[in-house]
Amino acid sequence: MELVNFFERKTVPKTVRDVRFKLARDIALFCARDLIPMNIVTKPGFEEFCKKYGVIKEDEKLPHRTTVSRAALGDVYSGVYSKFKALIRQVSQGLGLTLDCWTDNYQHLSYITYTVHWIDSNWKLQSGSLGTCHFSPPHTGEDIKKKFENIISEYDLNEKQIISVTDCGSNMIRAFKLLKKPRLACIAHGLHNLITRDLLLHADMKEISV
């Protein structure tokens, strides 16, 4: 499932303004797909490249980065959101859902991210992000329950059979007891805790034989 497939246009932009916005939109898509900072439009090398290959004319400028980051990126997000929402609603079989709490290294803010997984009609595993939400402390089981219910309702997945995979934190365990929904423990988290909290805490252990 390629991100670019969400943005196939059947109509050709007619006005200069439409052309400029389509360019800004495609730049936003390019940045989103490859995790490129949007200030790339301010870089002389990128502008020269676009002129060399006819993306813009010699006397033109690239769209302002504010246009790319605000208006165009919002349009990209709306397109992805509506298409993806319709896609997962059409999944006839059950869904897997992984969720995890994490903290960014820059502002030290807490978030919770939801990723959905399913098998398509060709028996291929597909995955996609339902969203990342700001998650202020305290991260109680009750709060996780509310966040879970909100994201499931937002995507109209209340009637879907969903099995969730989480870490074994007491808050996650409590949340799913309150939800009365199936939950499996993440083996990756278990192995990480086994190694970092149990094995490596022993000062006399230098290596692990395989």
Residue type at 175 in one-letter notation: A
183: β partners: 164
Note the pLDDT of residue 151. Answer: 97
pLDDT (mean) for 133-149:
95
Tens digits of per-residue pLDDT, 148-163? 999 999 999 999 999 9
Q: Which two tokens stand for residue 192?
A: 């990480």
pLDDT greater than 90 at residue 15: no
Tens digits of per-residue pLDDT, 127-137? 999 999 999 99
pLDDT greater than 80 at residue 203: no
The pair phi, psi for residue 163, each rounded to 5°, is -115, 125
Q: Measuring CA to CA, which residue among 96, 102, 94 is closest to residue 165?
A: 96
Query: How far is the C-alpha of 127 from the C-alpha of 169, rounded, in Å?
Result: 24
**Residue 67 near residue 24, CB atoms below 8 Å:** yes
25: β partners: none
Q: Which two tokens stand for residue 125?
A: 């595993």
Q: Which two tokens stand for residue 205?
A: 């252990």
Note the pLDDT of residue 11. Answer: 60
What CATH homologous superfamily does 92-199 map to? ATPase, nucleotide binding domain (3.30.420.40)
Total number of residues shown for the chain? 210
Is residue 70 very low, low, confident or very high in pLDDT (cuts 50, 70, 90)?
confident
The full set of domain ranges for the chain reads 3-88, 92-199
Percent of the chain with pLDDT over 90: 74
